[in-house]
Each structure stands twice: as C-alpha cells, then as structure tokens.
Amino acid sequence: MNKCLITLARQDQEKVRFSVDASHISRLGLELVAKKETAVAELVKNGYDADATVVELIFKNSEQPGGTLEIIDNGLGMTRQQLIEGFMRLSTPNKTEQPFSNLYQRQRAGRKGIGRFSAQRLGTHLTIKTQKSESALALQLTINWDGFEAHRELITVSSQIETTNKTIEVGTILVIENLREAWSEAEIKRAYRYISDLLQPFPLSKPTPNDNVDPGFKTVCYRQTGNKKPQTIVSEDNLILEHALAEIEGWVDNNGYAYWSLRSQRYSEINTTAQQITFSQTKSKSPYSKLRKVAFKTYFYLDKPDLIPKLSRTHIIKQLKENGGIRLKPNNTVLLPPKVGEQGKVSR
C-alpha cells in the first residue's frame, strides 16, 4: 500500500511533495543527541513520563564497543496504538497536547520526542518489549537501525510488532544491542548525574490514602560481565554515601576482639586501618566475653557548602534527617556509633 502511494505520488506531475530519505533517521540520532550520556538520560526520562517509579539500567559487557544496554522501567507500558502512533511516528504533538503524565500528573521530561533517536545513537539494534497491566501478553518490536539506508524512502523501511509472553507484569524494557561505544564506570556515573539533575528521586509530597500522589522516581545503574551477577555502579543510596566526609567501621571478630577503622576520600591523611578498641589507658586489650561476629558502619557528614554539592544537598540533608540516628537496640542496649573527635580519633 505504501509503495503504491509513493508510485502514485511520483506520477502526479502537477503537484510536488516532500519525501524523506531513510538515512535521515541516522543523521537525527547523531545530530540531535551529541553525547551518549544525554542519550541514556533521554531514554530514562521516557520511563519517568510513563509514570515509572524505578528505572534500572544494566550495562552488559560494555567495557568495549559491541555490548548491550537494557533499560527496564515499571511504568504504565504501551498499547499497540501507543507504540505505533507514539514511538513509530515522528514529531507527534503528544507532549504539547498532553503535557502531564496520566497517573501522577508529572510534567513530561522527554525533550521533543528524541528518545527513539537516542536509542539509535547508542547501538545498532533496538528491541522494545512493553506490557500493560490489563494485558495477558506483551508487545515486542525490533528495529535494525542499519536498515535506514541512503537512497531509500523512509516509508519503505518496516518493522514488525509481535505478541509474546510477559517478562514483567507492567512496564517497558528496551534492549539496545551492539553498543557503538564502550562505557567506563565514570561514564555510567556521569550519565546518572544527567538524570539526577533533571528528575526528583524522592516523593514530591506525603501520600494519603486513595490518591495518586507521586511516590518519587529512582534510577539504578548496574554493570554485568559475562554470566556474573550484575554489580551496582550508582544509585540514589551510594550517590548519598559518596558525599560522606568520613566512613567509620567497627567490628568484633570471632575471638571477641573489637576494632575500628576510619576512611575519608577527601582527607586521606586521617585514614586509619584496623585499630583495636580499648576503653581506658590502663585496661588490657581483653576480648568481649560473649560478643562475637558483629559489625557496624557509620557515615559522617558536615553540612557545609564546600563539602556537599549544591545539586545534591537538599536530598542528602532530607534523607539524613529522616533516616539518620541510632536505630539498633538489641536486648534493650543501644549500640552507639563511634564519635569523631577534633584530632580524628575515635572514642566510645
């Protein structure tokens, strides 16, 4: 049908029409999305716009070009019509006509519908698997970006939508294969910062029963090599922890001897390896009589502008106020974290 329309249009000598070369898709991917970190951020924002609360990114064998990136969100998913009219149609006015998301009424973060071009910027193949909660099956679409060749009409390049079994109950999975560039750990963290600068990682307000208050949005980045278990590279939690002024650990070994250590990335001169804990200058370094194999870790912060980045400060301080303090009370005994004195020594 499409080829017939093209043929008829070409035979109409009285009128002229714009046509689109298929290679235009490749140029858009490279020209609209210059940085690969921006490309990842745009794809994550699509999950945000779909009312996801969590987006997971798994970089598989990405230390060299040719790896795979999976982006998994628990958003509302897409129907067949939404997949065709939203993702497969260029320059739709959807974000203009519907500036807020369906469930949580988020102001849409996606920029000019360039998510699809972001996928093309990152790799040569894209598989979309999307599932709605009310559907028994998922929809799957695979696109080979190398098929968008020069001197070929864009409308003649087709991809097939198939139904398949669900992988998750609701949401969308993007699998970008044959990554064009390698991804280092530093680059993955930089992509995360692009996301965290734009999106709220915590609830916008306290939820009440029977409403759709936005519960917040989080992103976690993993790296996976071979068949090994994915390792967390960056998340909301370790983004907070990396800004701690010092990390203090204490533990009791199998023989009942207690130790402490202190580590600071900012002030390496105060770093202290395992030191045995004593409670006075005269008491011998005797073991605990009953305490064995316990440990704790404490993160120490100073609320000063030069110690906590401005973009992260509000969130970090909020989390510390809500979740900080002493929580462990075994046998009605509070275990106090060590205190850092003026000289960087630990007392108890």
**pLDDT, position 328:** 53
Is 10 part of a structural domain of the chain? no
Is 159 part of a structural domain of the chain? yes
Q: Are residues 143 and 97 part of one domain?
A: yes
Is 89 part of a structural domain of the chain? yes
Confidence grade of residue 113 (pLDDT, cut at 50, 70, 90): low
Say if residue 208's pLDDT is above 60.
Answer: no
Task: Name the token pair of 229.
Answer: 């278990």
Q: Are residues 306 and 174 part of one domain?
A: no
Q: Are residues 312 and 263 part of one domain?
A: yes
Q: Are residues 257 and 343 part of one domain?
A: yes
Ranges 7-11, 83-87, 172-176, most confident:
172-176
Q: For residue 334, give Cα distances in angstroms to 176, 244, 290.
A: 50, 23, 17
Say if residue 69's pLDDT is above 90.
Answer: yes
Say if residue 114's pLDDT is above 90.
Answer: no
CB 120 within 8 Å of CB 26: yes
Q: How buried is residue 232: exposed, middle or buried, by Cβ count under 10 Å (0-12/13-18/19+)?
A: exposed
Largest CA distance in the chain: 105
Q: Are residues 247 and 208 part of one domain?
A: no
Strand 54-60 vs strand 218-224: parallel, antiparallel, or unpaired? Answer: parallel
Q: Determine the Cα–Cα distance for residues 290 and 288; give it in Å rounded to an integer.
A: 6
Is 203 part of a structural domain of the chain? yes
- Amino acid at the residue 336: L
SS3 for the chain, per residue? CHHHHHHHHHHCCCCCCCCCECCHHHHHHHHHCCCHHHHHHHHHHHHHHCCCCEEEEEEECCCCCCCEEEEEECCCCCCHHHHHHHHCCCCCCHHHHCCECCCCCCECCCCCCCHHHHHHHHEEEEEEEEECCCCCCEEEEEEEHHHCCCCCEHHHCCCCEEEECCCCCCEEEEEEEEECCCCCHHHHHHHHHHHHCCCCCCCCCCCCCCCCCCCCCEEEEEEECCCCCCEEEECHHHHHHCCCCEEEEEEECCCCCEEEEEECCCCHHHCEEEEECCCCCCCCCCCCCCCCCEEEEEEECCCCCCCCCHHHHHHHHHHHHHHCCCCCCHHHCCCCCCEECCCCCEEC
How would you list the strands of the sheet with 54-60, edge to edge? 161-164, 138-144, 123-131, 171-179, 68-73, 54-60, 218-224, 231-234
Is 104 part of a structural domain of the chain? yes
Cβ-proximal residues to 187 (8 Å cutoff; 6+ apart), any chain: 36, 37
Enclosing domain of residue 273: 243-347
Say if residue 43's pLDDT is above 70.
Answer: yes
* pLDDT one-digit tens code per residue, 196-206: 755 554 444 44
- State how many domains the chain has: 2
Say if residue 210's pLDDT is above 60.
Answer: no
Q: Are residues 118 and 49 part of one domain?
A: yes
Domain end position, chosen among 239, 259, 275 = 239
Q: Are residues 206 and 84 part of one domain?
A: yes
Instruction: Of 262, 276, 265, give the one whose Cα is nearest residue 341.
Output: 262
Q: What is the pTM of this model?
A: 0.69
Q: Are residues 134 and 30 part of one domain?
A: yes
* pLDDT one-digit tens code per residue, 80-107: 999 988 888 876 666 667 888 989 888 8
**pLDDT, position 151:** 82
Q: Determine the Cα–Cα distance for residues 179 and 59; give it in Å rounded to an integer.
A: 10
Query: Crossing angle, helix 36-49 and helix 185-196, to 10 degrees?
Result: 40
- Beta bridge partners, 100, equal 107
Read off φ and ψ for residue 174, nearest 5 degrees: -110, 130
**pLDDT, position 335:** 43
Q: Determine the Cα–Cα distance for residues 216 and 201; give it in Å rounded to an integer.
A: 6
* pLDDT one-digit tens code per residue, 137-164: 999 999 999 888 888 888 888 899 999 9
- Amino acid at the residue 230: P
Is 184 part of a structural domain of the chain? yes
Domain end position, chosen among 204, 239, 274 = 239
Q: Are residues 167 and 146 part of one domain?
A: yes
Domain end position, chosen among 216, 239, 262 = 239
Instruction: Of 18, 34, 20, 30, give the one whose Cα is nearest residue 150.
Output: 20
Is 7 part of a structural domain of the chain? no
